[in-house]
Amino acid sequence: MSLWILNGKVWNESSANLEGKHIQVVDGKISAIVDANETVNIEGAEVVDAQGKLVSPGFIDMHVHLRDPGFTHKEDIITGSRSAAKGGFTTIACMPNTRPVTDTAETVRYIIDKSEEAQLVKVLPYASITKNELGRELTDFASLKEAGAIGFTDDGVGVQNAQMMKDAMALAKSLDMPVIAHCEDDSLVVGAWASEGEFSRKHGLKGIPNESEAIHVGRDVLLAEATGVHYHVCHVSTEQSVRLIRLAKQVGIKVTAEVCPHHLILSDENIPGLDDANWKMNPPLRTPRDVAAVLEGLEDGTIDIIVTDHAPHSAEEKAKGVDLAPFGIVGLETAFPLLYTHFVETGRWTLGFLLKRMTQDPARVFRLEEGSLEVGKPADITIVDIENEQAVDPSTFLSKSNNTPFGGWKLKGWPVATIVNGNIVWTE
């Protein structure tokens, strides 16, 4: 099969500019990239006219929740994949806190088989560190790797026992696999949902302190140093965590980290009140000082990649109020427009910086062959209209859920087509 993407604008890192290009795809791989002023033979090929829009490597999200199996009233592999494709993502990695937990080879294969049947985006499953994510007994790492798991994490809960985490890291190291950590000390978060800051003080709430995250980061970088494992920190949100990760990298510990758009854009002082559980997420929105710290960490390379932590919940669940509603917001369909509008349009970041953190860097961190527009690479491509401004309308989401605090926000940079292995899986 042959496909030509004509008249696109591709970011050139050397010149720090967008350049007009035609891209040819043959049998799912990029076969040619030529200047847009050259004449090409499109006879017999499928043609997509990008009409001067941005043509990017497909976005990669290494932290999503597809809720399948077990919670398919919130999301499933097919709807989550559609949501990802609409957001411009061509590869996503799904967390194991499902029911059953992804702690067996059978569940790993279920996820892979269902995603392949959907023929939408690439879905990479994580497996849990401990059986049923209870923190008591390690899973069979070898069989999970053989089944197709790409790493081990008890996301949703922190591994509370240090010896358990050290044993997990040593085993993962022996298999050349990463450990991906949700960093949270349970003893410091009981009975709280908001960060310890201005919002919690104003409303007389018990706050979640920054130490609840940073204590596990500090513990785990030392364990990673002892075992030599690739240790990856989930959804970094605090100034202290950034400081610890930066120090760990400076001394050569193999640590990488991720951050979510909402922790780069929002603080606890943006929460409008106690009536809307769409502002309840884990980690919680932190203080403006923490926002500044994670931004600096992303910009100086302490934090490697951007993820969404796409966490769908039903309207009924979120309607229970902030005390009873589950933590989490959806993010796949708004991530790029949010970041483009707030950081590229304002001149804080170059377009190239944003694209790198959402494509090349996740591919580098997790050793994926995707993530770049190069001849011979998989034709995973996203076309984005960076000029189009429109409001976030949760009613149009392809996700089963619409739990977002960003409804009504006017943003630029909306994906208009998503291509995976040369196949168009979504168009506007």
Domain coordinates of the chain in residue numbers? 2-54+380-427, 58-365
Close Cβ partners of 423 (under 8 Å, ≥ 6 residues apart): 28, 119
Mean pLDDT of 201-215: 95
pLDDT in tens, 103-128: 999 999 999 999 999 999 999 999 99
The pLDDT-based confidence of 68 (bands split at 50, 70, 90) is very high
Close Cβ partners of 374 (under 8 Å, ≥ 6 residues apart): 30, 33
Mean pLDDT of 64-90: 98
Considering the domain delimited by 58-365, tell me its CATH architecture: Alpha-Beta Barrel (3.20)
DSSP 386-407: EEEEEE--GGG-SSS----S-T
Structure tokens at 201: 């003080």
pLDDT at 191: 87
The pLDDT-based confidence of 201 (bands split at 50, 70, 90) is very high
pLDDT in tens, 351-378: 999 999 999 999 999 999 999 999 999 9
pLDDT at 229: 98
Q: What are phi and psi of 343, to 5 degrees?
A: -125, -35
Mean pLDDT of the chain: 97
**Whole-angstrom Cα distance, residue 342 to residue 202?**
27
What separation in angstroms does the CA of 42 have from each of 27, 378, 419, 425?
A: 15, 20, 18, 21
CB 414 within 8 A of CB 337: yes
Determine whether domain 2-54+380-427 maps to CATH 2.30.40.10.
yes
* Catalytic residue from among 76, 309, 361, 380: 309
Same fold, 2-54+380-427 and 58-365: no
* Terminal Cα-to-Cα distance of the chain (whole angstroms): 23
pLDDT in tens, 47-59: 999 999 999 999 9
pLDDT in tens, 4-43: 999 999 999 888 899 999 999 999 999 999 999 999 999 9
Known catalytic residue at 103: no
pLDDT in tens, 178-187: 999 999 999 9
- Closest by CA to 35, choosing from 24, 48, 46, is 24
Structure tokens at 176: 């050349």
